[in-house]
């Protein structure tokens, strides 16, 4: 193969495919699991790294009408693509974001007594959502503040919501407590829609559903609940180019710090992905603290066969041990799977000491992206 052929100008050394049909299939699953509740979508952080400009309008066409983003900048970018949807801004409303909130017809999620006063004074009777903290100590009024708000405010919210701290552990006692506290507060807000469940929370059953659910990570293919088989379709596939194959002798070392010592004569695929692409350094095969806690480092896959990362992952380059594959099975210019049918988000995240959410939202800007469906 001529050396100029492996890389055309449209293809770097990493590529990523986002399957929008799989995204929609996952949304329909979450909608069906939500019972009689409407199913929204969390599309914050650029739709968990998958590309909100592609994902959100596709979900809207599928029937989703409620979108949750973190801040007003994300919301403003989405508004032209979602002209008829409700867009909720989870981080709240501030003087600095007020003009944008009105200009783009956004629904702020009011998180404190101060934000409620600010909205009443400046926005009058425009709609807002009210977040109540039922046990996480993150965003939202305390239950007592919410009761006082309900009694004193002439202008009720269009939605009351809360958020689970431990929904991914179905047996955690805090889930039942949050469900109870939220159910108790519902009575203070008669005839107002309520929303409690994220992806994992939807699986806690009908008491968690209320009128609107807010799945995020499951839409993008991640396993929402630990310990049960993942029913979501994979949405993201990531691959890296084999730049060259090198041979190292037994006893030689690989990568920075000489942390990997070859125990045998080895064939090594040097690939064009690194921690700058979100292929976390903590997934290195050796030489990082995590390897004393989680023995198995990161892996790639060639036609479904796993090939381990050896040595430290560097900024732009990673080495995979391909000694066990037939010599013809891997050549410069081939692609190695990093995420996809063989390697799940959860497997990759565990090797890096993190969670699927962080894997998705770290996918780097160098990936050549393709949207299918
Ligand atoms: C991110 C977020 C969600 C979605 O959570 P997932 O666990 O990704 O399903 C829902 N609600 C709030 C308030 C969030 O911050």
Q: Which atom of ligand 1 is nearest to the CA of 222?
A: 8
The β-bridge relationship of strands 66-69 and 86-89 is: parallel
The closest-lying atom of ligand 1 relative to the alpha carbon of residue 139 is 13
Pocket probe mutation, ligand 1, options 41, 42, 55, 223, max atoms within 8 Å of Cβ? 42
Known catalytic residues are 44, 256
Residue 279 has pLDDT above 70, yes or no: yes
Domain boundary assignment for the chain:
34-220, 234-372
What's the pLDDT score for residue 5?
46
Do the first three CATH levels of 34-220 and 234-372 match, i.e. the same topology? no
> CA-to-CA distance for 286 and 363, rounded, in angstroms?
22
CB 86 within 8 A of CB 64: no
CA 293 from centroid of its chain's CA atoms: 24
Q: Give the nearest ligand 1 atom to 90 CA.
A: 13
Question: Ligand 1: which residues within 6 Å by Cβ?
Answer: 42, 44, 68, 90, 163, 198-200, 214-218
pLDDT digits (tens, 9 = 90+) for 113-156: 999 999 999 999 999 999 999 999 999 999 999 999 999 988 99
Architecture of the CATH domain 34-220: Alpha-Beta Barrel (3.20)
Average the pLDDT over 317-341 and give the result.
Answer: 96
At 7 the pLDDT is 44
> At residue 1, does pLDDT exceed 90?
no
pLDDT given at position 209: 98
In CATH, 234-372 is 2.40.37.10: yes
State yes or no: pLDDT of 8 exceeds 60. Answer: no
- Counting every residue written for the chain, the total comes to 373
pLDDT at position 318 over 90: yes
Residue nearest to atom 12 of ligand 1 (CA): 163
> Which residue(s) pair with 68 in the sheet?
42, 88
Q: List pLDDT tens digits, range 144-193.
A: 999 999 999 889 999 999 999 999 999 999 999 999 999 999 999 999 99
Q: What's the pLDDT tens digit per position in 61-88? A: 999 999 999 999 999 999 999 999 999 9
Rounded to an integer, the average pLDDT of 332-350 is 96
- pLDDT number for residue 229: 85
CB of 277 within 8 A of CB of 366?
A: yes
Specify the pLDDT at position 256. 98
* Contact between 22 and 235 (Cβ < 8 Å): yes
Residue nearest atom 10 of ligand 1, based on CA coordinates: 198
**Helix/strand/coil for 370:** strand
**pLDDT-based confidence at residue 11 (cuts at 50, 70, 90):** low
Angle between the 52-62 and 20-33 helix axes, to the nearest 10 degrees?
50
């Amino acid at each position: 193969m001529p050396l100029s052929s492996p890389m055309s100008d449209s293809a770097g050394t990493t590529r990523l495919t986002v399957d929008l049909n799989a995204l929609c299939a996952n949304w329909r699953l979450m909608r069906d699991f939500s019972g009689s509740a409407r199913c929204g979508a969390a599309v914050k952080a650029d739709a968990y790294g998958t590309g909100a400009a592609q994902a959100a309008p596709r979900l809207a066409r599928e029937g989703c009408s409620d979108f949750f983003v973190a801040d007003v900048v994300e919301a403003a970018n989405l508004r032209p693509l979602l002209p008829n949807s409700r867009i909720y801004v989870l981080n709240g409303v501030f003087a600095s974001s007020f003009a944008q909130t009105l200009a783009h017809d956004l629904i702020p999620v009011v998180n404190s007594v101060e934000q409620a006063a600010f909205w009443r004074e400046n926005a009058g009777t425009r709609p807002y959502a009210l977040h109540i903290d039922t046990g996480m100590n993150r965003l939202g009024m305390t239950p007592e503040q919410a009761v006082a708000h309900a009694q004193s405010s002439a202008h009720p919210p269009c939605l009351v919501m809360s958020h689970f701290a431990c929904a991914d552990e179905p047996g955690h006692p805090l889930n039942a407590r949050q469900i109870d506290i939220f159910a108790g507060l519902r009575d203070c807000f008669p005839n107002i829609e309520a929303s409690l469940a994220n992806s994992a929370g939807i699986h806690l059953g009908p008491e968690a559903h209320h009128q609107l659910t807010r799945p995020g990570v499951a839409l993008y293919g991640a396993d929402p609940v630990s310990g049960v088989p993942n029913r979501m379709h994979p949405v993201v596939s990531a691959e890296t180019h084999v730049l060259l194959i090198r041979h190292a002798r037994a006893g030689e070392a690989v990568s920075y710090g000489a942390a990997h010592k070859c125990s045998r004569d080895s064939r090594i695929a040097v690939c064009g992905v690194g921690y700058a692409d979100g292929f976390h350094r903590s997934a290195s095969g050796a030489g990082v603290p995590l390897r004393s806690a989680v023995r198995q480092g990161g892996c790639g896959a060639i036609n479904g066969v796993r090939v381990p990362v050896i040595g430290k992952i560097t900024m732009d380059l990673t080495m995979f041990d391909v000694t066990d594959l037939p010599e013809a099975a891997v050549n410069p210019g081939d692609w190695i799977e990093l995420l996809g049918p063989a390697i799940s988000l959860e497997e990759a995240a565990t090797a890096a000491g993190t969670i699927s959410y962080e894997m998705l939202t770290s996918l780097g800007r160098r990936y050549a992206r393709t949207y299918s469906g």
